[in-house]
Every structure is written in structure tokens, then in C-alpha cells.
Amino acid sequence: KGAKASANIYSIIETCKVNKINPYDYLKYLLNHIHDYSDPKELVNLLPYNIDKKISSN
């Protein structure tokens, strides 16, 4: 379980980097907005490549 969870987090962080999003800012955004989604199918909207550029690290 732990290895899978670690791999998931690492994947998310690397996806942030590829999309020029600060991983810390993304995780902060994710934790503040995840409760807005009641349908698990909508969580795809919170993936790094679907997040508004307002949290990008440009």
C-alpha cells in the first residue's frame, strides 16, 4: 500500500513539474478544493494539467 501511495504522489508531483506548476501550490490548492467535488468522476478536473494557470510557478 505504501509503495503505491508514494508512486501516486510522485507521479502527481512530476506532472506538476511538466506543466510548470509549483507542486506545493498545487497540493495546497488540491486540499482546499477537493471537498467541492462529490462525484469521483469529476476529480479529473483537479489533476495538475487541468488546473488553472493561476497557481503556476511562472
Average per-residue pLDDT for the chain: 89
pTM as predicted: 0.78
Give the confidence band of 55 by pLDDT, cuts at 50, 70, 90. confident
* Alpha-carbon span 21 to 53, nearest angstrom: 8
Question: Is the model more confident about 49 or about 57?
Answer: 49
For the segment 25-43, what is each residue's pLDDT rounded down to a tens digit?
Answer: 999 999 999 999 999 999 9
Which phi and psi (to 5°) does residue 21 adopt?
A: -115, 130
Q: Which pLDDT value is given to residue 58?
A: 44
